[in-house]
């Protein structure tokens, strides 16, 4: 038996990163026919650890910000009364439920690490008709001549830990800036917006900009339709190791002595690191059992890595 003085050790288990792609298509939300989500107490709606902001103005009794899911289908009615309709009539791929978003809406992501791959987007009927025809508040895009360089732009910004990231993703819901008027367009179908370039985020914010600005701000209705919100979520877990290099560490948590049982006769090596990654101890092992004296270690958590040939396993150990 060999005794060795070292510093700290860990609890049984191996750290793993579990990544999964999730598509939130809003079809699991329950609605009465021809209705929309409404919360007079500003409660956000959630799916797969993703929270969609919803704000209600109690003083004036209206939906004042964020997102609302809906199954209202109206691609023709003009004006503010058609708040939830989209130009394609229904959701992406003719689905039943989709989301309407407002300028400055925020989506919060609940996992430890997230990449927003993207989503489908389109114009609401209200916004589309306003840009196409003009109304009592907003101009017809292109103006009387058709040459005005009008636009409606969506900017998607990412946040991590409350800090705004430097990158943003831009998408034009309407663009009349080209010198060639035949290239002018207003989006009237579902189009994919790739936002993976924002990287790891814990929330994203949608900001809308228009060329039609009056004395009181933007005249263009600042609404958009969204569907199939797609994310990659990575969750840090602690699972039992499934590697075929088998060894046991006990007792765990431990006090003064830590026993290691190895089911291999050939030589192995052991490395112990603290939670900052600093290597505390290294040793070659050619015993089927070894005992480490850890009495000199402070209480805490450490990582024990066993390597043999091309196989390895990491276990977490707690020192009392």
- pLDDT tens digits for 249-282? 788 888 888 887 765 545 577 777 776 567 777 7
User: What residues have CB less than 8 Å from 123, skipping those under 6 apart?
Assistant: 86, 87, 131, 152, 173, 174, 186, 187, 188, 224, 225
Higher-confidence residue of 183 and 260: namely 183
* Helices of type H across 118-179: 125-133
Report domain extents, the chain. Answer: 31-236, 241-319
State the Cα–Cα distance between residues 101 and 153, nearest whole angstrom.
Answer: 14
Assign 62 a pLDDT band (cuts: 50, 70, 90). Answer: very high
Higher-confidence residue of 87 and 10: namely 87
- Residue 15: the pLDDT is 45
Query: For 165-178, what is each residue's pLDDT tens digit?
Result: 999 999 999 999 99
Supply angle C-alpha 189, 137, 78, rounded to 5: 45
* Sign of the torsion angle spanned by Cα atoms 192, 197, 200, 202: negative
**Contact by Cβ (8 Å): 145, 139:** no
Kindly state the helix (H) or strand (E) to which residue 200 belongs, with its residue range. none
Same fold, 31-236 and 241-319: no
Matching CATH number, 31-236, of 1.10.340.30, 2.60.40.350, 3.20.20.70, 2.60.120.1350: 2.60.120.1350
- Residue 302: the pLDDT is 79
Assign 242 a pLDDT band (cuts: 50, 70, 90). Answer: very low
Instruction: Note the CATH number of domain 241-319.
Output: 2.60.40.3080
**Contact by Cβ (8 Å): 274, 302:** yes
Backbone angles phi, psi at 132, to 5 degrees: -75, -40
- Which of 66-80, 216-230, 251-265 is the least confident region? 251-265
- Whether residue 1 is predicted with pLDDT greater than 80 in this model: the reply is no
Higher-confidence residue of 225 and 314: namely 225
- Residue 266: the pLDDT is 55
Backbone angles phi, psi at 130, to 5 degrees: -60, -45
- Residue 67: the pLDDT is 98
Instruction: At 231, list the tokens.
Output: 């994310």
- How confident is the model over 95-103, as a mean pLDDT? 98
Name the nearest CA neighbour of 317 among 289, 284, 281, 265.
281
């Amino acid at each position: 038996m060999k005794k060795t003085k070292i510093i700290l050790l860990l609890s049984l288990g191996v750290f793993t990163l579990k990544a999964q792609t999730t598509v939130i298509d809003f079809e699991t939300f329950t609605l009465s026919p021809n209705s929309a989500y409404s919360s007079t107490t500003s409660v956000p709606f959630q799916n797969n650890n993703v929270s969609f902001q919803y704000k209600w103005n109690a003083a004036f009794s209206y939906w004042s910000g964020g997102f609302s899911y809906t199954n209202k289908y109206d691609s023709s009615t003009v004006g503010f009364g058609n708040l939830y309709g989209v130009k394609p009539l229904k959701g992406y791929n003719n689905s039943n439920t989709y989301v309407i978003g407002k300028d400055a809406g925020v989506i919060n992501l609940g996992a430890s690490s997230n990449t927003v791959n993207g989503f489908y987007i389109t114009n609401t009927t209200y916004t589309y008709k306003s840009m196409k025809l003009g109304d009592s508040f907003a101009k017809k895009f292109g103006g009387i001549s058709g040459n005005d360089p009008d636009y409606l732009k969506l900017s998607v910004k990412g946040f991590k830990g409350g800090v705004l990231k430097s990158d943003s993703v831009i998408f034009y819901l309407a663009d009349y800036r080209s010198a060639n008027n035949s290239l002018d367009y207003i989006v009237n179908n579902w189009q994919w917006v790739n936002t993976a370039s924002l990287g790891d985020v814990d929330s994203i914010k949608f900001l809308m900009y228009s060329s039609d600005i009056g004395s009181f701000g933007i005249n263009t209705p600042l609404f958009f339709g969204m569907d199939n919100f797609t994310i990659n979520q990575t969750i840090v877990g602690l699972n039992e190791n499934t590697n075929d290099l088998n060894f046991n560490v006990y007792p765990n948590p431990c006090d003064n002595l830590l026993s290691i049982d190895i089911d291999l006769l050939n030589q192995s090596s052991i490395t112990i690191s603290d939670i900052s990654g600093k290597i505390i101890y290294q040793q070659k092992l050619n015993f089927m059992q070894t005992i480490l004296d850890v009495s000199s270690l402070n209480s805490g958590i450490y990582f024990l890595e066993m390597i043999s040939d091309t196989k390895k396993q990491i276990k977490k150990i707690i020192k009392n």
